[in-house]
Amino acid sequence: MGLYILNCFQMDIRSNVVRRASAIGMALDGQHLQVVDNDISDCGIGLSRFSGTTTLISNKIVRTSSIGAHFYAPEVLDAERNIVGRSGSAAVFVEFPSLSSLRFTQNTFYKANGSGILIGEGDATLTAVGNMALP
């Protein structure tokens, strides 16, 4: 794994480069997380995040052999101006969004070998504004 960070209440992950992590580029766990301006490429899964509140701004996640970004049971997910592409599965997968608030604004999803945004079963509130999904 490129970055593997657990049990932090509040995190600010900013301006990092992660390349060629065979399993997961960034595996992050904490209550409040801000991920800004990172470059993740050539990984199994680009970003993996469990629960909590996540703000994802201006990141580039490309050439993953599986999911670009995987969120499991998030409370809040706010994704803005990210580029996620050339993924072996969905560009973004939100699994079990139980009572989650999901917001996707001005993101670009391209050449995903699956959906641009895939949201699993659950009771989520979704706002999607100005996103692009390209084949």
What would the pLDDT profile of 38-66 be if each residue is shown by its tens digit? 999 999 999 999 999 999 999 999 999 99
Range(s) of the domain holding residue 120? 3-134
Q: Are strands 108-110 and 60-64 parallel, antiparallel or unpaired?
A: unpaired
Q: Is the dihedral of CA 62, 67, 71, 77 positive or negative?
A: positive
Predicted model pTM: 0.96
Count of the separate structural domains present in the chain = 1
pLDDT at 7 over 90: no
Average pLDDT of the segment spanning 98-110: 97
